[in-house]
Structure 1
Amino acid sequence: MASVRRNRADPVDDPGAGNIRARYRRILRFAAWNLAVTWWFELLLPRIGLGLVAERTRPARMQRFARRFHVLAVDLGGLMIKVGQFLSSRLDVLPPEITTELAGLQDEVPPVPFPAIRALAEKELGVPLERAFAWVEETTIAAASLGQAHRARLLPADAAETGLKDVVIKVQRPGIDAIVDVDLAALRKVGGWLSRFRVVSSRADVPALVMEFAQTSFEEIDYLHEAANSERFGVDFADDDRVAVPRVAWERCTRRVLTLEDVTAIKITDVAALKAAGIDPVQVAPVFASVMFDQLFTNGFFHADPHPGNIFVTPAPAGAGGLPWKLTFIDFGMMGEVPASTRSGLRKLLIAAASRDGKGLVAAIGDVGVLMPSADVAGLERAMTQLFGRFGGMGFAELREVDPREFRDFAVEFGDVVRSLPFQLPENFLLIIRAMSLTSGVCSSLDPRFNLWDSVEPYAAQLLRDERGNLLQDAAQQALEAAGLALRLPGRLDALIARIEEGNLTAANPRLERRAARLDRTVRRAASALVFGAVLIAGAVVRADDPALGSALMLASALPLLHGMWVGRRGRNPRL
């Protein structure tokens, strides 16, 4: 008779349980408070000459924020875990005080009690578990934010039909649909708040990003969609000896229950276990990077959540590539697709990065669609050229040895240029960034001296050879474009001469206009600060003899202070 293996330890309660309205309010309170703190320290204090205070307190503030969000995410579960995982992967833009603290969210999710899992699985499958499986292990092998996994074995008849025996059942957390709905509602509200800040809205369409995140989340809780993703991924790598993908037991799958071949092996970042199996972690890193490059730049269908818990290293007989192991991917709920046009831009970006071509890199960024057409890219080209000249080719270990003052000098010189550029994140670009960030982190865990450039350069060289195959076609296209330009040139010259004769010709220099506006605001604020200081000191002196008049003067000093804080806002272009 079929059995269910019991576990005496009672797991903690489902983190998604509780009052939905209270959950919504808690998320908004957390976001509002931290946005207010960020506004105060990062925007207000620098305006009134207290930027050093914000700079000195920044590391401690970032660490406190990360700790509080860590507690919030673990308490609430749901999409808050996904948000934390994304933040922990942004090693490129977020300080280590945040990424280090949130890194534990990759695995730190308490499981749901098994009786609740059993009830949901039996409702979905339409039969008791004893009639669906030979046995099911009650102890969870993985607990994620949206579901959890248990080992099981198919009944003999099903095993003979599917060719599978040992499987893993992935079951959604009960009530996760309602939790996802309320979390997305809260994120939409926070996105609306962020879009009110011009410094944010001019660089990214936050509501669109939340919508993309919502679409990804809905796909993640549809296990039939994940099963289809798994099979598609398997087809992409069917002839690749480096990669293995679990097979799907479709007869035991529904929207909330997924049954896959049990492919559990060595976790990719378990260096000790890899060495014990005779596998050199240093050799695994470049192979993993290459497989991810193939997904992003060649196939266009990529695993967007390649954190260590989703990739195993499976010992296997040496294949055509000579490797005595394979990379086994699991959890295909979060997948990304790169459109052909974006993939072409990414290939150009990779080639430019590998060849240290700053100008080519900026052009490729434009092709991908990150920079808006109105962007003044001359300064960015200079910044990228100097960045490659000084830091190009360095791995993370080498970068850690660079004097921090060099990074500060670079940021001071080009910070205004980068911040002034209008950019946007195209569809799926958030997932691309996440995939590459996690790839870099996994490779660095396998080999602390790992240099991503060592993997990028040979891959880019192959892409360049492929691109040269289309050289004649590109040359013909350019010839046609040149011919079209030559035909249009006389008419354009006539129009230009007419505008000169009419006195309607104008020229714009965005950088000069920004600097002039900044200088005007600085002068006005300096005048207001002088008046503020004079009135405040006068009040303090007079107060000793006339307390009433002195207090009135000290209170009145707040008026020029407020004027200095907000003066010039009407004339600003990128206003907050």
Structure 2
Amino acid sequence: MEQKILSSRARFAQILSILHKHHIEKGIDPVKFREILEDLGPTFVKIGQIMSTRQDMFSERYCKELMKLRSSVTPMDFDTVQTILNEAYQKSWTEIYESIDMEPLGSASIAQVHFAQLKNGQSVVLKIQRPYIYERMERDVSLLRKAVKVLNLSDIVSSVIDLNMVIDEFWTAAKQEMDFTNEAMFAKRFKRLFKDCNFVYAPKIYDEYTTHQVLVMEYIEGIEISDIEKLDSEGYDRVEIADKLAYNYISQVIEYGFFHADPHSGNLRIRDDKIVWIDFGMMGILERRDRELMKDAVRALALRDTTKLVDTILTLGIVNQEIDYPAFTNEIERFMNQYLNLSFSEMDLGVMVQDVFTICHHYHIALPKGISMLARSMMTIEATLNDLDPSCNMMKIIANHKATLTHVDLGKEAKKIASKSIDAFVKGLDLSVQSSDVLKMVQRGQVKVNLNLMGSEQPIAKIDRMINRLIICILIAALLMASSLICTTDMDPKILGIPALGFVGFMSALAMSIWLFFKMLQLHRRNKSF
């Protein structure tokens, strides 16, 4: 059996030691951050992998570096595997399985995979969860929160990431991933949605043998989609496979809002002229509202409607601070102008997605988890498609759905207009009463109205500087007048025959005048250079 977890104190000391070893107090960069996560172990590697999918929250260079993270974990020994299975089934695994291969097919931070045969001779794959993995991750998450406070990590990396947000999102995702019944549910849902598609397949899930810690599914003996030589030798048309794969993926997104979020070549097989999707541990879900807004965004791109795209992004996103709307609109306008003379199918999806996420990151606009997963997933599927067919362009496939995206359902729109009209009429009746009530509250001083002009910061700053200089001029004049009055008296002590207080006043006025003169000269030169 795997070694039990370290005590919280020992693990906390280990975490602090690793952070100090990398001199975290001196700042952070993408490579250092990745190396720290790798040294901290599986829990933190998993956090980094989740972070790499959130390009709306983290800069492009961090996401690219974190994509290099791989879960390199020593496989469990077979005695541990047997113990886990016996505990999960409350009986010997030999009563269910004819045999289980001792060597795993793969080993990751949360689980490892073994080939097995049921008593009836059917070949299956067992995904077996590591012992104490939940307890280890729960402990590490708790200790990470403490380390963030102790080392003031939030202050050190605040310009790069919101650590508390990352920890919360990771722990939510990890708890779902560690319950294999969720993955089983996703796999069955995917299989059900595409049961009538004659070129797509998903493995069968054996519910009777699946538990929270053990997932049992049909073994797929096919050709990995990246094995180009074998596909060619078996006579498969790679261009056709790429077209079908892209079409199916876009259908997942647009028609169902339920898509495979990790479509790399290792999760795709070709068997009996069908594309087989495997490993449903990471699935993206788009709510109906988000799906409609995404259609609006694609429609805005197709029609080159900047205002619509800006409004859609702001509606979709979570805005954590005040947005400079004119500057944000200009940024999107520049983005749109890059594609002004390109046809819909000539656009590079990966570059477009990265550009939009870079803009959102700059303006601190966080997008819903489903949208950020989709962006990462789209770039992954593009790489997979390019391996199959270098000429394949994801936007060409989206262009085939353009009619769906830009089509207006007159009946549906009529219902929307009717509903909005009734709503507007009812609200219109209330408006006069509400306006009267608000005006009365303003008169009584119960309501205060603040006006905030976007983009007014620079003019206001200039006015502020002008007022400050005017105040200094008034002070200089006051000092000169006061000092002159003092000089008419015979006040002691004296400096150079002048009352000391008057002398200090003259010198102060002179110093302030010289300072103001040089400031104005400096400003004049700066304006002239522009």
State the TM-score, normalizing by the size of structure 1: 0.66
Partner of 1:142: 106
Partner of 2:77: 113
Partner of 1:127: 91
Partner of 1:509: 453
**1:62 aligned to 2:4?**
no
Partner of 2:305: 357
Partner of 2:268: 312
**1:439 aligned to 2:381?**
yes
Equivalent residues in 2 for 1:120-519, closer than 5 Å: 120-156=84-120, 165-189=122-146, 207-309=164-266, 311-316=267-272, 324-326=273-275, 328-371=276-319, 375-391=323-339, 421-426=363-368, 428-465=370-407, 467=409, 470-480=412-422, 483=425, 507-513=451-457
Structure 2 Cα separation of the partners of residues 341 and 195 of structure 1: 36
What is the CA-CA distance between 1:507 and the residue it aligns to? 3.7
- CA deviation string 1:173-193 (max 9, x = no partner): 122122221232245457778
Partner of 2:39: 72
C-alpha contact (below 8 Å) 2:110/2:178 kept by paired residues: yes
- CA deviation string 1:414-440 (max 9, x = no partner): 99x866745344465554444344334
Q: Which runs of 5+ in 2 are unaligned?
A: 469-530
SS at match of 2:95: helix
SS at match of 1:470: helix
C-alpha contact (below 8 Å) 2:51/2:66 kept by paired residues: no
SS at match of 2:338: helix
What is the CA-CA distance between 1:297 and the residue it aligns to? 3.3
C-alpha contact (below 8 Å) 1:194/1:206 kept by paired residues: no
- CA deviation string 1:537-571 (max 9, x = no partner): xxxxxxxxxxxxxxxxxxxxxxxxxxxxxxxxxxx
What is the CA-CA distance between 1:260 and the residue it aligns to? 0.9
The 1:182/1:449 distance shift into structure 2, 3 A limit, reads: farther
C-alpha contact (below 8 Å) 1:362/1:377 kept by paired residues: no
What is the CA-CA distance between 1:375 and the residue it aligns to? 3.5
The 1:30/1:226 distance shift into structure 2, 3 A limit, reads: same
Q: Which runs of 5+ in 1 are unaligned?
A: 1-12, 40-60, 160-164, 317-323, 401-406, 525-576
Q: 457-466 or 220-229, which moves further after superposition? A: 457-466
What is the CA-CA distance between 1:387 and the residue it aligns to? 0.9
Structure 2 Cα separation of the partners of residues 345 and 398 of structure 1: 20
The 1:491/1:111 distance shift into structure 2, 3 A limit, reads: same
Equivalent residues in 2 for 1:527-546, closer than 5 Å: none
The 1:214/1:506 distance shift into structure 2, 3 A limit, reads: closer
Letter paired with 1:63: V
Q: 507-516 or 233-242, which moves further after superposition? A: 507-516
Given candidates 33, 39, 46, the residue that maps to 1:82 is: 46
Structure 1 Cα separation of the partners of residues 408 and 23 of structure 2: 48
What is the CA-CA distance between 1:196 and the residue it aligns to? 5.1
Structure 2 Cα separation of the partners of residues 419 and 351 of structure 1: 23
SS at match of 2:124: strand
Structure 1 Cα separation of the partners of residues 78 and 61 of structure 2: 36
The alignment yields a C-alpha RMSD, in angstroms, of 4.4
Equivalent residues in 2 for 1:86-97, closer than 5 Å: 86-89=50-53, 94-95=59-60
What is the CA-CA distance between 1:168 and the residue it aligns to? 0.6
What is the CA-CA distance between 1:71 and the residue it aligns to? 3.7
**Alignment size in residue pairs:** 456
The 1:387/1:100 distance shift into structure 2, 3 A limit, reads: same
C-alpha contact (below 8 Å) 1:370/1:426 kept by paired residues: yes
C-alpha contact (below 8 Å) 1:70/1:102 kept by paired residues: no
C-alpha contact (below 8 Å) 2:47/2:166 kept by paired residues: no
What is the CA-CA distance between 1:514 and the residue it aligns to? 6.3
Partner of 1:99: 64
- CA deviation string 1:117-175 (max 9, x = no partner): 1221122223333332111111111212200111111102xx5xxxxx11011111122
SS at match of 2:318: coil
Structure 2 Cα separation of the partners of residues 299 and 387 of structure 1: 29
C-alpha contact (below 8 Å) 1:342/1:367 kept by paired residues: no
- CA deviation string 1:32-54 (max 9, x = no partner): 86764447xxxxxxxxxxxxxxx
Q: Percent identity, aligned pairs only?
A: 24
SS at match of 1:471: helix
Structure 1 Cα separation of the partners of residues 148 and 245 of structure 2: 35
C-alpha contact (below 8 Å) 1:397/1:450 kept by paired residues: no
Structure 2 Cα separation of the partners of residues 167 and 454 of structure 1: 37
